[in-house]
């Protein structure tokens, strides 16, 4: 599909408006975006996990950790939410670099649901390796799925808004100032509908 040629500004238009046509996503761009989302989610989770770990350790700087239970719980309380925020942030920023239009909150919800699914997978299998795989893959996969669902919803709603009415795109308003016949000034707004 060829890009439409730029329309000439109507005669006498003071502030020409440049029409920007949005195109539908090419199927060839979906796979690279999803791969980037996976890597972004892993990097975001690891990066925010390190930040949370450092914040937790620095919070316990003056505390004597003899038993270790209190210290481990404090570090986990700070690190785990940081990872849960870092995964969807990494997914979102990586996808936006490749034209993604999804949102953070559906990606965060996907992270939490993916964690639950990974936990169920780990509990249903024998051995600690399955639990680790479930808790690593589940949140990232859930964040990617949540982001892609919100991307699809945002892309379809913007397509419907573009197809709905051409008059909504042509609405333009500009400030106006002029002189009156008696030498005064008149100001207001000039619009084209």
Q: Percentage of residues in the chain with pLDDT exceeding 70?
A: 74
pTM of the model: 0.68
- Which tokens in the block code for residue 81? 């939410």
CA dist., res. 14 & res. 189, Å (int)? 13
Check whether 39 has a pLDDT greater than 90: yes
CB of 49 closer than 8 Å to CB of 82: yes
Chain segment 67-108, per-residue pLDDT in tens: 666 778 888 888 999 999 999 999 999 999 888 888 999 999
Residues 147-155: what's their mean pLDDT? 89
pLDDT higher than threshold 60 for residue 137? yes
Query: Which residue would you say has higher pLDDT here, 25 or 152?
Result: 152
From residue 20, give the alpha-carbon distance in Å to each of 7, 27, 193.
Answer: 10, 21, 18
Q: Which helix (H) or strand (E) holds 175?
A: strand 172-179
pLDDT at position 165: 46
């Amino acid at each position: 599909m060829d890009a439409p040629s730029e329309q000439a500004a109507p005669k006498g238009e003071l502030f020409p408006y440049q029409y920007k046509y949005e195109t539908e996503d090419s199927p060839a761009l979906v796979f690279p975006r999803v791969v980037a989302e996976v890597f972004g989610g892993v990097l975001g989770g690891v990066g925010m996990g390190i930040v949370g770990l450092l914040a937790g350790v620095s919070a316990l700087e003056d505390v004597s950790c003899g038993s270790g239970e209190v210290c481990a719980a404090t570090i986990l309380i700070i690190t785990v939410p940081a990872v849960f925020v870092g995964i969807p942030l990494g997914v979102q920023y990586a996808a936006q670099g490749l034209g993604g239009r999804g949102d953070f909150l559906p990606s965060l919800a996907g992270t939490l649901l993916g964690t639950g699914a990974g936990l169920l997978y780990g509990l249903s299998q024998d051995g600690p390796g399955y639990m680790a795989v479930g808790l690593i893959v589940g949140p990232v996969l859930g964040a990617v799925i949540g982001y892609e669902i919100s991307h699809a919803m945002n892309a379809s709603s913007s397509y419907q808004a573009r197809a709905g009415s051409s008059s909504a795109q042509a609405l333009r308003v500009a400030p106006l100032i002029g002189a009156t016949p008696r030498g005064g000034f008149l100001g207001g707004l000039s619009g084209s509908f």
